Amino acid sequence: MTNDPNPRVREPGPEAGIDGIQAESEPIRTGLDETVEAVSANPDVAGRAKHKVADTKEQLAEKATQTKNRIVEKSHVAQSVARDSVTDHLDWVKAGVLIAAGAVAVIGVVVWRRRR
């Protein structure tokens, strides 16, 4: 067994000419070309992952802001509808609401007194 780290590479003999050396080095060149292509075709995976995470965070933050704004807008509309249903144009409580509140209070007192 040899301690050669790359068993495909052999030293040319003393009788080897330029053509022989080039022929022996051709598989090495081809292997290096394939390695370079493989490395360049596989870009920085960690960098792409970090970029994707940053993009996703940005999209989620934007959607959260849009959702919050829609909720605030809808709550303002609901608040306005509720206020308009119990008040008149001068922001006075409508008479019907006062009568209903009084009726509930009277019924509550009657029920309370009967239970005592």
Separation of alpha carbons 10 and 23, rounded Å? 12
Nearest alpha-carbon partner for 29 in 44, 43, 8: 8
- Per the CB < 8 A criterion, the answer to whether 89 and 95 are in contact is no
Per-residue pLDDT of the chain (116 residues; tens, 9 = 90+): 445 555 555 666 666 677 777 777 788 888 888 888 777 766 777 877 888 999 999 999 999 999 999 999 999 999 988 888 888 777 777 888 888 889 999 999 999 999 87
What is the pTM assigned to this prediction?
0.43
Token pair listed for 81: 């509808």
Separation of alpha carbons 10 and 6, rounded Å? 9
Domain ranges of the chain: 1-42, 43-115
